[in-house]
């Protein structure tokens, strides 16, 4: 059967990655979490001391070090999902923590960071059979993807989901702070100069505020099926 490219873009914390991972597994496709790549670069910058406590980024230092940043994925047989590695070190859980979440938009807005990540993403998706999630997949990375989905949900629903996820992992967190972080990231992601978050003209909108995961999955599979028949 023909292997297509599926681009899933949308706002932060609306379950894009859970949806994309499940879809990839169901279809036997490769899953690429591009947000994890920007998170890994952010962690690199934090560990190298390129981000001040006030949040200022030493852009020139990061530019000079970009060729030392290698983000890869390795399939984890236990979870059935790929884990993110930064220069060979597993950072899958570390990059989901609040300190990385609150800085990643700054790093993802830098042009040379995006150019490096987009080039890697295009290489990973060569030949199709890939489900890639992010913010600019349908607009910049794969503008000719056969299926483009733009996912959204209200900011409150998304903050609640992130709160539940972090609490389940044992992280102590505050709902209001998470809601502010979600709104702030929406703002930065949609207004940045390079590849701002926007719906591709030919993307299908999925508002999952009131959908269960099985309902969403059924909807997605029906979209794929109607393309492949």
Give the span between the Cα atoms of 198 and 154, in whole angstroms: 16
Tell which positions 44-103 bind ligand DC, by CB under 6 A.
Answer: none
- The DSSP letter of residue 83 is E
What residues from 108 to 137 belong to the interface with ligand DC (CB under 6 A)?
A: 108, 134-136
In this complex, which beta carbon is closest to ligand DC, that of residue 74 or of residue 222? Answer: 74
The window from 53-61, 104-112, 144-152, 198-206 that contacts ligand DC (CB under 6 A) reads 104-112
Residue 34 beta carbon to ligand DC: minimum distance, rounded to whole angstroms? 4
Residues 181-220 close enough to bind ligand DC by CB under 6 A: 185, 189
Number of neighbouring beta carbons within 10 Å of residue 95:
22
How many angstroms separate the Cα of 218 from the Cα of each of 4, 133, 164, 167? 18, 18, 24, 28
Please identify which residue in 34, 84, 139, 216 interacts with ligand DC, judged by CB under 6 A.
Answer: 34
Angle at 155 between CA 154 and CA 158, to 5 degrees: 90
Q: Is 10 in the site for ligand DC (CB under 6 A)?
A: no
What separation in angstroms does the CA of 122 have from each of 2, 17, 75, 128? 19, 18, 19, 10
Contact residues toward ligand DC (CB under 6 A) are: 12, 34-35, 38-39, 104-105, 108, 134-136, 185, 189
């Amino acid at each position: 059967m023909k292997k297509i490219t599926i681009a899933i873009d949308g706002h932060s914390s609306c379950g894009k990655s859970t949806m994309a991972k499940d879809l990839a597994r169901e279809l036997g496709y490769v899953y690429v979490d591009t947000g994890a790549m920007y998170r890994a670069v952010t962690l690199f910058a934090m560990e190298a001391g390129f981000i001040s406590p006030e949040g200022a980024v030493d852009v020139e230092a990061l530019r000079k070090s970009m060729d030392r940043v290698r983000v890869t994925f390795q399939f984890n047989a236990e979870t059935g999902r790929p884990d993110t590695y930064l220069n060979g070190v597993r950072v899958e859980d570390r990059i989901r923590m609040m300190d990385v979440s609150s800085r990643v938009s700054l790093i993802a807005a830098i042009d040379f960071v995006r150019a490096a990540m987009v080039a890697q993403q295009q290489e990973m998706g060569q030949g199709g059979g890939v489900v890639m999630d992010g913010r600019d997949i349908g607009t910049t990375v794969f503008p000719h993807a056969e299926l483009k989905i733009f996912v959204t949900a209200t900011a409150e629903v998304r903050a609640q989901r992130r709160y539940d996820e972090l609490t389940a992992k044992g992280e102590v967190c505050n709902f209001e702070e998470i809601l502010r972080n979600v709104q702030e990231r929406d703002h930065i992601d949609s207004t940045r100069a390079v590849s701002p978050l926007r719906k591709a003209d030919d993307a299908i909108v999925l508002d999952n505020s009131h959908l269960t995961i099985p309902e969403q999955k059924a909807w997605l599979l029906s979209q794929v099926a109607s393309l492949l028949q």
